[in-house]
Structure 1
Amino acid sequence: MLVQQFSVVAVLTQPDRPAGRGMRLTASPVKQLALARNLPLLQPVTLKSVDVQQELANYAADVMVVAAYGLILPSALLQLPRYGCLNIHASLLPRWRGAAPIQRAILADDDKTGITIMQMDTGLDTGDMLLKKTCSITAHDTTQTLHDKLAMLGAEAIVETLCLLEQGQLKPVSQNVAEATYAAKLNKTEALIDWSKNATQIIRAVHAYNPFPIAYTILNGELVKIWQVSVREGSEGEAGIVLAIEKNGIIVACGQGALCLEVLQRQNAKALPAAQFIQGFAVHPGDRCTSFL
């Protein structure tokens, strides 16, 4: 593998965070891999600390590679490595700068996305583009499936970029600011389904918010998460009304068209196929999905 020619002198990841029902401190996958490979590991709370910056400077790294780190890199840190800091960004810049490029691409019905390896500067994903790889977005892609494809693509792209960097063959390209779009950070409230929208828009939302924060609705006074849906052809009705209960799904009318809710989840319970879900949750034709308790 090409990656074997590069030496990883240190790994940075955020401090352990509470996770799961027990809210136990949990190491990130990055930390777990670093420990498994016996790599030097740092978990600073902030990168603004002079002591932290000096510790990083002592490694005398040629380049720093950043992927979904979650902390802002101060200007002083961007200038530490000989070749600066390279970011693996999950979009075809300048489209979808920002925190949620995968989700925003699905919501916007983009037919493709990809990976951009960019030279980091002090702006928000505004640096020069060094290498791009394209990935199609299928009608069945969720954020999870698209993330997994882009993760593999990003790994290939950064190794290729580092090889070109070592050979002095990288050709930075400035971003066209006029073409830039912003991928705003997700919040849970936007995942509440608006049944007045058409079926295609809603199915995109279900895909975009899977696996977080998960699209949801209020059904019979209870919050219900919607994990998987399909379009139900030939069904129409008042938006939000349950049209039918079938073995494999709950049919709900949209502003235009209808959806079959196939995998659902009550609060503090497991996600279940519709056939199992309706065994423990009373729902009937004529019931309404709403946006309030």
Structure 2
Amino acid sequence: GGEGGKAAVHLVMEASEPNGPVQLARTLFLSSGGAAARARTFDWDGNETHDQDDNLLERAGRSANARCLVAAYRAAIATHAALVEALCSGGAPGGAGELRALAVRAMQGMGVAWLEGTDIAKNLSVELSATDLAGRRADASPGSRHTKYLRVELSHVMSLDSPPSDLGAVVFGDSFLDAAGAGGLCFPLTGAVPRLCAWMAAGQEEDTHHMHSLLQRLRASGKHVHSTMGPLTLDDPLPGVRCLTGCSAMPSLQGDLWVLEKGVVYTSRRLGSVVLDLEAHVSSAEFFPESEAVSLRLREGVALWGALEGGR
């Protein structure tokens, strides 16, 4: 369960190879916090609605908590990356206390607004270990031939409410190899496992069904025209479109792209729907014919929510 007996918005998964050296840790998100991943909401006839009862009123608290946790998790990922770079380049201190102090300085230096109520110096923990091929503890000193595992945890992440709520912990861990005298060379062993994952839960499933119904209405008849984005220009979506987010923790998404006369709707199984009204949301667009790619830059102030918000 989540804070205050409500449904949880995240969970921590940790795994290790049986009788082997590989370990990892990930924080996974139930993206009900991203119930408004699209910037606008619409009624069943495709008209934009400004009624707060139909928008974010009931889920605003959970959305804010999810965004706070995603921001904390991305800070943990960035701290982990800074520590691995320091370890592999020989710039990290030797003791556990010194390594933790380096981590605290790195995270505090990020100035993450969502962590203003969280005591980073008190609640950030770092664990560096090494394992041989038989799964036994081994020498974790830089350049040793054993598999290293670095785990970063920020516990007691506090919401920005008054009074604040304890939202729990976020954890990130990866296994890697470093080479002695290799000038910072690092071989990640668990890098293929996605760093940031989210699944649709209560709330966003409803919104996704709502958006699906809207698209089917537009698709069924030319009489159904969206109030600001016009009709569909293609009856079917472009399948399997890869969306590059510009976020290192979540570099890309897979989904379908619905093209309207003055906008697009991107639907992803994991993160629901994202609507971009070309006039209201997009400041510039560029087409790259060689790769058949389109780059869309958003206007300042466009509302982003949920896991996607963590990439801003």
Bin of the TM-score, shorter chain as denominator length: under 0.3
Query: TM-score with structure 1 length normalisation?
Result: 0.21
Query: TM-score with structure 2 length normalisation?
Result: 0.20
